Copies of this chain bind each other. A is one copy, B any other.
Amino acid sequence: MWEEILARYLNEKRLKKSAKRERIIKFFFKVDKHLNVDELYEKLGKKVSRSTIYRTLKLLTKCGLAIEQKFEEKNRRYEPAHLSHHDHFICLKCGEIIEFNDKKIENTQNKIAQKYNFKIVSHKLEIYGYCEKCQKG
């Protein structure tokens, strides 16, 4: 669970607890999908500064609980790490991001990596195109 991992990390680094940080992190894991700083700022009622949100997301990234992502947008997104094996369909019309997961793709990746003697740590697969709605519309 993220609570324990976080607690262990804070302890190890001699960091202190704080209400703001907890609020951000709890919300982040409650929503449980990729978010950017502005979305968090808005959805937390602008009660926590962007600086603190940035710092908190960096912290989560450092202790392995979140993953930084760059889609073809100007700004970064963060995703709870337990979702990070998901891949994404991204609709070029409406911008919707659909998460999916497929074992076959991972197997194929492993085979190719072997061929290149590359040791895989993680991967990112984004498929761009048109979602069901936008094909009709």
A residues contacting B by CB (< 8 A) are: 68, 70-72, 89, 91-92, 98, 100, 102, 104-105, 108-109, 111-113, 116-132, 135
Contact = CB atoms under 8 A, between A and B. Distances in A.
How many copies, total?
Answer: 2
B120 A123 contact: no
A71 to B, nearest CB: 8
B118 A123 contact: no
A123 B123 contact: no
A117 B129 contact: no
A113 B132 contact: no
A90 to B, nearest CB: 9
Contacts of A113: 89, 127, 129
